[in-house]
Chains A and B, each alone.
Chain A
Amino acid sequence: GENVEQHPSTLSVQEGDSAVIKCTYSDSASNYFPWYKQELGKGPQLIIDIRSNVGEKKDQRIAVTLNKTAKHFSLHITETQPEDSAVYFCAATRGFDRGSTLGRLYFGRGTQLTVWP
């Protein structure tokens, strides 16, 4: 099955700086890569995702890049704010086949991001 590695496990930045979290995956057939943010006491929340037919996607201060050749993808947060502090998870999946395990999400171990004011 798919293996997703995520680094770093912890990341501390000053408010206003940028933060980058990187993930690698093993299954070259994976084609969908979501990122989740989990705040204390809450479930993971989908914040951005990217499909394998694009190399980059942006949504305000967050962006995700994908390098299919190298099988890695990254989350970029610019102008960080204290409310960005949370655990971030990357995930990968092959796709959308109903009734099969091909659509199963494989998660990284998470990155604890702390933004200091």
Chain B
Amino acid sequence: ETGVTQTPRHLVMGMTNKKSLKCEQHLGHNAMYWYKQSAKKPLELMFVYNFKEQTENNSVPSRFSPECPNSSHLFLHLHTLQPEDSALYLCASSQDWSEQYFGPGTRLTVT
């Protein structure tokens, strides 16, 4: 399998649930990103990992917790989310800091 994959593609969760989003890249890149995409807003960068080390946390609430066990995998752990957290969550990877390749996203709905 090639490119950037994300699972699940769709997720519905209650505000008290705990769930995790998974991202895997097969491109040999060393940087991975989480973005949030909401309607009518620019893509919002959430977290950046470079060589498994988190290099940026863009003021994201603690109910979102990233994990990067190796340069090919990235997780986003979710707990006690709010309805306004409903969005498309996109993962991306790059070899340097510019040419980012995106996965298909996870459509999250918080009820």
Q: CB within 8 Å of B: which residues of A? A: 4, 32, 34, 36, 41-46, 49, 89, 93, 95-110
Q: What residues on B are CB-neighbors of A95 within 8 Å?
A: 97-98
Residues of chain A lying within 8 A (CB to CB) of residue B75: none
Q: How many residues of B contact A (CB 8 A)?
A: 23
Q: Assuming A34-B98, A45-B102, A103-B97, what are 6 further A-B pairs, CB within 8 angstroms?
A: A43-B92, A43-B104, A95-B98, A98-B50, A105-B98, A109-B42
Judge whether B98 and A43 touch: CB under 8 Å.
no
Which of B41, B42, B55, B102 lies in contact with A99, CB distance below 8 A? Answer: B55
Residues 56-111 of B at the A interface (beta carbon under 8 Å): 56, 90, 92, 96-105
Interface residues of chain B, those whose CB is within 8 Å of chain A, are: 4, 6, 40-43, 45, 48, 50, 55-56, 90, 92, 96-105
Residues of A within 8 A of B97 (CB): 93, 95-98, 102-104
Residues of A within 8 Å of B4, CB to CB, are: 43
* Smallest CB gap from B102: residue in A: A43
Cβ contact within 8 Å between B41 and A109: yes
Given the interface pairs A43-B4, A96-B96, the reply to whether A104 lies near B42 with Cβ below 8 Å is: no
Q: Which residue from B42, B45, B56, B99 sits with its C-beta under 8 Å from A34?
A: B99
**Cβ–Cβ contact B48 & A107, under 8 A:** no
**Max chain B CB contacts within 10 Å: which of A36, A45, A103, A110?**
A103
Give the CA-CA distance A8 to B55 in the complex, in Å.
Answer: 33
A104-B45 contact in complex given A43-B4, A43-B90, A99-B50, C-beta closer than 8 Å: yes
A93-B97, A96-B97 known; A110+B42 contact, CB < 8 A: yes
Q: Which B residues are in CB contact (< 8 Å) with A105?
A: 45, 98, 100
- Cα distance, A101 to B59, chains bound together (Å): 14
| Residue among B48, B56, B103 making CB contact with A43, cutoff 8 Å | B103
CA distance A75 to B99 in the complex (A): 17
Q: How near does chain A come to B53, taking the closest CB pair, in angstroms?
A: 8
Nearest-Cβ distance from residue A75 to partner chain B, whole angstroms? 16
A108 to B42, CA, bound (A): 6
